[in-house]
Structure 1
């Protein structure tokens, strides 16, 4: 149970990614800010600045969220994926900001560049740090044709999480991965799911008729259309007889994927109730990305009463109970992927049984519960740092 602090604390959230760019890291930060507001704490967000083009078109990083100030620092675009911004802020600049804001704790959200600078600044100021591991950056190197960088990137990951007072990992796979790097200040912190938003009651027969006029079963993917998500693997499903592939999301590979899978239905980026409607209208949800530390969309599909077929690596290993709530397939085995999807598409009884079990498996996984667990980790780290100072 969450132990209420005698007074509110002020948390600096160091965001490698923030609004208006939507991804798993951004969504987790927003949930954290929501919970800090709910429990009466203070926060400041420090994030990379957006592009000048976004400033002029009304798509700038917001100045505030939930009343909390958002401070932007200099950044440059990621080559070939300009929506992603890479911070160029120095540790000295971060130190000045943290001093001025008078924060009590530094929360490093998927730390890499900005997080590394903030971690060094926090160390100089004696501030406690909690690092949340969310992105398996080193494996992206091969996906983006820089395999020679992977070892150096893992060393950077090791340096960050060894230096932080506490690292929170979202899955048993990630815990083992970080433990294998020699990082021992580790705790598990999973993710919640909004079962009010993602619900089978949002299923839309109108959408199903429009996309599958001959009564085809709908196989769906939700996420970024980028190399690290391996969306191209869905070509193994794009022409299954009696089924239609639905691809929800946007990203740098969208044009290429539309050419690769001309019979698939692409919706573009969706969020909120419209995303929940499409999710609930699927018959089977698929996720092919092998570098997921958690995979929030799997939980959202399950809450929508949709069984899941996912790659058997990373976060999905904790979420999919193979042969009960869905299927896990062997990484890289696209024939196995197609076989598992076919098994659910053409067996209505099994699909319904898996769907019911999937929905049941996410009940009680609320964001409020996860938020309180995070606050208890904050409290523990602050107490440990205070005790250390008292001894010296």
Structure 2
């Protein structure tokens, strides 16, 4: 066949870096797709930052006419969700974090189920163990694969295990996302981190737009009985809330320093996690309430019944709880880091919520005290936060993934497939003429 010239090499590189068209064609926008989702941990049984994201995503895909199956961890999963079949895969606890179930999802039963479904595209959450199974099945079936990156594991590793594991973890992430046809990230900050680590090319990293259920998280859920519960019977006292998984990586010990400097103020932790017992000991004798995990209307009431939501975490890939608090009309004071930067951009600081320099106690306290001592300002900020969140809904975010990002993944997959088949195409053209050339699509 001969060696490729330098110009041909450069041309191939330019084509590889070229961005695909936003939409392949009008038919691909409206034509129903068959989508296989591999989600770990389960968005049905495990409370995590992406639970609402995936549940709303499935719901909206189904409403848009797509067929969906969901492969996830076996514990506590329903048989179906909004008409999407749910397939439970046997799981085992993470060695370093026992409450997180893991599963490879590569049993003959699951492979057969996915093959029978004949997906047009596979979408897997990452990092994890199940994403390896999803990648293997995608290659077996010759199907495009999208990976959405939800947990910034390299940041968590030093807090749960050994720092020397960070570099191997980045190698695993590069292997997985280098093999994916497209990577979705929840924030621009995470996109920058992945690009800096040379995980994949910049044009193969796309944003999964933020979304919030503005009907479920609404100021109307403010409830006296819930405030009574969160304040341990002192509803007239100023009330700080924190909602989310209680993990050591969330920097929740910082809130102990905050509360030491705020006499007369109460705090409520809504959520559960491996760090809960340590926090309860830390806050022993202080005006703190731990509700455990709340769901449904109780969770909506908990958000809307506080005065301020404080988020000290510096490792949020998105910060879904920040969106939900703002949607509930409760101002947020959050560390200026990670995905929260996308939720509260610089031009909105001081209008819809406050940010503080990570780890700067005085900066954080000044923002909290300003809100606590100025009720009119606090209420105006809560109203502005609510109005801002009304611009985002899950349906719009799902439509972009379905009609643009999935199309881009399919475009890249077809291009990669064409490049792999091009030597056969070249040979066929010369042996049989162009009319007998191999086609692909």
Q: TM-score, normalised by structure 1?
A: 0.90
User: How far 1:286 sits from its partner (Å)?
Assistant: 1.0
* Superposed CA offset, 1:373-392 (max 9, x none): 11012233224434655674
User: How far 1:273 sits from its partner (Å)?
Assistant: 1.3
Aligned pairs for 1:292-307 (under 5 A) are 292-307=316-331
CA contact (8 A) 2:34 2:119 kept: yes
User: How far 1:302 sits from its partner (Å)?
Assistant: 0.7
User: How far 1:343 sits from its partner (Å)?
Assistant: 2.3
* Superposed CA offset, 1:70-115 (max 9, x none): 2222321124643311114449876544323311100012342110
Aligned pairs for 1:332-351 (under 5 A) are 332-351=359-378
CA contact (8 A) 2:50 2:320 kept: no
RMSD: 2.3
Cross-structure match for 1:53: none
Greater displacement, 95-104 / 184-193:
95-104
Structure 2: runs of 5 or more not aligned: 1-21, 422-441
User: How far 1:317 sits from its partner (Å)?
Assistant: 0.9
1:276 and 2:304 matched: no
Distance (Å, rounded) in 1 between the aligned partners of 2:360 and 2:160: 21
Closer, same or farther in 2 for the Cα pair 1:345/1:70, shift >3 Å? same
Distance (Å, rounded) in 2 between the aligned partners of 1:150 and 1:92: 33
1:187 and 2:206 matched: yes
1:213 and 2:234 matched: yes
Closer, same or farther in 2 for the Cα pair 1:88/1:37, shift >3 Å? closer
SS at match of 1:176: helix
Cross-structure match for 1:322: 349
Distance (Å, rounded) in 1 between the aligned partners of 2:64 and 2:277: 44
Structure 1: runs of 5 or more not aligned: 51-59
1:69 and 2:69 matched: no
Cross-structure match for 2:398: 371
Cross-structure match for 1:121: 137
SS at match of 1:238: helix
CA contact (8 A) 2:329 2:382 kept: yes
1:34 and 2:53 matched: no
1:20 and 2:42 matched: no
SS at match of 2:50: helix
Distance (Å, rounded) in 1 between the aligned partners of 2:256 and 2:154: 25
CA contact (8 A) 1:91 1:118 kept: no
Match among 108, 111, 116 for residue 100 of structure 1: 116
Distance (Å, rounded) in 1 between the aligned partners of 2:122 and 2:194: 20
SS at match of 2:277: helix
Match among 245, 251, 274 for residue 224 of structure 1: 245
CA contact (8 A) 1:224 1:251 kept: yes
Cross-structure match for 2:8: none
Closer, same or farther in 2 for the Cα pair 1:148/1:385, shift >3 Å? closer
Greater displacement, 147-156 / 318-327:
318-327
SS at match of 1:33: helix
* Superposed CA offset, 1:236-265 (max 9, x none): 233422311111001122222111113211
Cross-structure match for 2:277: 255
Aligned pairs for 1:157-196 (under 5 A) are 157-182=173-198, 183-184=200-201, 185-196=204-215
Aligned pairs for 1:146-161 (under 5 A) are 146-161=162-177
SS at match of 1:306: coil
Cross-structure match for 1:46: 71
Structure of higher CA gyration radius? 2
Greater displacement, 277-286 / 21-30:
21-30
Distance (Å, rounded) in 1 between the aligned partners of 2:361 and 2:218: 30
* Superposed CA offset, 1:254-300 (max 9, x none): 22211111321111111111111111111111111211110111111
Distance (Å, rounded) in 2 between the aligned partners of 1:242 and 1:322: 27
SS at match of 1:216: coil
Greater displacement, 176-185 / 97-106:
97-106
Greater displacement, 202-211 / 271-280:
202-211
Distance (Å, rounded) in 1 between the aligned partners of 2:320 and 2:121: 26
User: How far 1:214 sits from its partner (Å)?
Assistant: 6.3
